[in-house]
Each structure stands twice: as C-alpha cells, then as structure tokens.
A = this chain, B = another copy of it.
C-alpha cells in the first residue's frame, strides 16, 4: 500500500473541492452554456445523438440516476419539443425516445457554448497535462464507482 496518508487526504480534499466547484459552475455559469436547454438537457440529449433512439431506462443508465428522474426529465424535454417519443415496436410497455430536429439544433448550439467556455477555462493547459489528467480522472471515477457500490464478490464466488 504505497500511498501516503498525506497524499490520500490531499487527494480527497482536492476532489471534494473540485466537486463543489463543479456544482457552482453548473449552476452559476449555467444559462450562458445551456443554450436554452434545461439543466439536464445535455446529459440526456448527448446519448440520444450518439446512440440514436433508446428507452428511458437506457438513458437513466447513462445519466446514472433513477428511472423516475429521467421519466420526468424526458417528459419536460418532450413538452419543449427537444425529443420525440414513439412506442417501441417490439415491446408495448416501452417507449423509444429520439432526438427531434429542434433537439439536435439546441444540442449543437449548446455544444458550441460549452466548447467556448471550456476552451476559455482551460486556456493555460497544455495537451500533455490535460490528457494525463483525463486518464487519471477516469481511473479515479472508476475506482470510486467500484468502492461506492455495495461490496460484491469480485471473482468466482457463488452468488
């Protein structure tokens, strides 16, 4: 266990700070970056654009929240015309949610704004540091995910 307690605490504190900052950013710099979409629009619309039509449960999986939350959010997006819903031809219980033209346009607009904002915020980062940070952050997120989920038997144990 070659990880110094000092470093561990510092990392935890740093991530905590980043968390708080991130919350501030997504609420304060919100309107200038969301481009008309509600706050959750980006999270839901991006998977729709990337993977095409899909059901609520799939979106909930991508977003990492409860299905009920996505259900409401999708209802709002549908009401505002950003997504379209059609019954799943293979399963009468489910609906398929798809990006509408207006949704695609809003998404493109938002993408521009986000890019501009991120470019400004990351102005004095260079490629190497950013790439390194990306990798470490992804790894950390994965580890935290793993640690947060209830202790599973990792390998070959009878469930």
Chain A residues with a Cβ under 8 A of chain B = 1-5, 7-12, 14-26, 28-29, 63-64, 114-115, 117-127, 129-134, 136-138, 140-141, 143-148
A22–B21 CB distance below 8 A: no
* Contacting residues, chain B, for A1 (C-beta < 8 A): 119, 123
Number of copies: 2
| A-B pairs with beta carbons under 8 Å apart, 22 shown | A2-B127, A3-B125, A3-B130, A7-B130, A8-B115, A8-B119, A8-B122, A11-B130, A11-B134, A12-B118, A14-B133, A16-B22, A18-B18, A18-B141, A19-B26, A21-B64, A28-B148, A120-B147, A121-B146, A133-B133, A133-B137, A137-B137
Q: Which residue of B lies closest to A15 (CB)?
A: B137
Q: Give chain B residues whose Cβ lies under 8 Å from the Cβ of A29.
A: 147-148
Bound complex: CA of A132 vs CA of B114, how far in Å?
Answer: 27
Chain B residues with CB under 8 Å of A18's CB are 15, 18-19, 137, 140-141, 144
